[in-house]
């Protein structure tokens, strides 16, 4: 953090916090006119954890988690449910270079995650379907973490197989 430029920090905040605010405000107006709706913000498990080199991202996603809760409380009277999905570590084109056996970060994720694997983007489908359905009409201000259990544990002790 000490060497991070303020402009770089602000760029992350703009994309991961300010942009969802702007989009949510715009769609909420239409939802109010139609009598309600659902907003699903893409949060992150990094709103719950600290880690070297991701301070701006974690700050933005922590802010988005709280923005989600505040949207939920302010817009509930309009029958708008605002929730978030908090992905853990997922197999994407961005993570491909480090998802190799023997790479220290890959090995860390596999050993730290109770599911012992990276998430597949299809793992997010159930959360999105639920939060966008009538089944979630009384769910508001919640972040549903899809993380293979990584937030549920401090990790596998080194003396266990």
Which tokens belong to 40? Answer: 């699903």
Q: In angstroms, rounded to a whole number, what is the distance separating the alpha carbons of residues 17 and 107?
A: 30
* CA angle at 110 for the pair 17 and 83, rounded to the nearest 5°: 30
Q: How far apart are CA 161 and CA 158, in angstroms?
A: 8
57 counts as catalytic: yes
Tell me which of 38, 40, 57, 136 is the catalytic residue.
57
Which residues are within 8 A (CB) of 8 and not within 5 positions of it... i.e. 6 or more apart? Answer: 56
The catalytic residues are: 57
């Amino acid at each position: 953090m000490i060497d991070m430029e303020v402009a770089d920090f602000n760029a992350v905040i703009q994309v991961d916090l300010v942009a969802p605010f702007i989009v949510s405000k715009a769609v909420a107006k239409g939802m109010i006119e139609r009598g309600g709706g659902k907003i699903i913000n893409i949060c992150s498990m990094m709103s719950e954890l600290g880690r070297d080199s991701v301070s701006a991202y974690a700050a933005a996603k922590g802010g988005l988690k709280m923005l989600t809760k505040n949207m939920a409380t302010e817009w509930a009277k309009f029958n708008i449910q605002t929730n978030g999905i908090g992905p853990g570590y997922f197999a994407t084109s961005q993570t491909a270079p480090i998802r190799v056996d023997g790479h220290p970060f890959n090995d860390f994720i596999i050993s730290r995650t109770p599911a012992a694997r990276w998430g597949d983007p299809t793992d997010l489908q159930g959360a999105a379907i639920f939060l966008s359905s009538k089944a979630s009409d009384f769910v508001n201000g919640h972040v549903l973490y899809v993380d293979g259990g990584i937030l549920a544990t401090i990790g596998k002790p080194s003396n266990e197989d």
